Structure 1
Amino acid sequence: MKTLLLAATTATFLLSSTFANAVDVTLNVGDQAPSFVIQDDTGANWNSDKHFANKTVVVYFYPADMTGGCTKQACGFRDDLSKLEGENVEVVGVSGDSVRNHQLFKKAHDLNFTLLADPDGVAATAFGVPFTKGEKSITREIDGKEEVLTRGGTAKRWTFVVKNGKVVYKDDKVNAAEDSQKILAAIEGLKK
């Protein structure tokens, strides 16, 4: 009887610990930015600790390469990048797309900033961004050739600004077409 009681207690403890760790992260302004390592659009490892430590980084999550809203958002950051870099701000886009997809997306739209491949939702989960696992594919014509772009999962469209390792801005209701302009205003507000 004691063995059965001990086994039941242990099982209950283990299950409650498992579910407690499965609780979604909620990252708010003022919180420490999360640590993670994922691949950038060149296939190299991108370590958040190295980028977040002593500078300002815009981290924007988007659902998929080569789709309407995501392309508008990326092109907005492309067009405003010189202004952001003038404020010593780095921009990175993050989606569940592969390195190859990111390379095609950058080429098709002349994107001039880093895209991070997050097919397993590592970065999205670390930031508390909703992420749905599961492969999805779209077909697009790029340079006259039909390409199939398959992603490992889909993140919601959220944007963060990290300054010196801390989250200083969070938007979980992003308007794709206006995101870069909103970020420029937020960066200006951080100077005050």
Structure 2
Amino acid sequence: MTSWLIAVLMFSLGIYCLLPRVWIRSKPLLALVLVTIVSVIPIWQGFSIIDFLRGGFGDLSILSLSLLLLGTAARLGAPEVLGAEQKKWLMLSVVVIALPFYAATMGLAYLDPYRWGYTFQLALALLPVTLLAVWWRVWWLAISLTLAVFLWGNGAILESTNLWDYVLDPLLVIYALGYLLCYGAARGWSLIKRTG
């Protein structure tokens, strides 16, 4: 039940963050409540939108939850915490970290990084990344990674026992790729306009 409630929170925040700002400008909190209610109403054979999303993509990671909470807070009027430069480097890091997983899944590599998530050594390997996040003052990333390792160690939230499922998920990787493609296209277009 706890993992289903966390999934409702995560996917409702995700749907809310994808809504056009025009739709939620006047009453953002009401829009968030309505999205949550609509997402849990059974629509086909007793399954809700959340059930279909969870069945198709699995649970979202703690890093995704952190980004969704930051995005929701910004839409509700809080100041932006994540700068454009930090977001670019985070999305690039997500894609670079995810590459070995998808290469192994498609049979392009003999290395299986997913199996490392079942051992505590991966948690120790994330420690330098967390320390670098503290050094660069990317507090939300440091907190997200620490929380992911803590929740994984206690088996508290997600159904998975693999640490990678607490750090990465397919929707985060798809979002990161989309963000980087848009960022690169915008940079390329600005260079064309400057030189032309």
TM-score range normalised by the length of the shorter chain: under 0.3
- TM-score w.r.t. the length of structure 1 is 0.26
- TM-score w.r.t. the length of structure 2 is 0.25
Per residue, is there more helix in 1 or in 2?
2
Q: Flag the structure with larger Rg.
A: 1
Per residue, is there more strand in 1 or in 2?
1
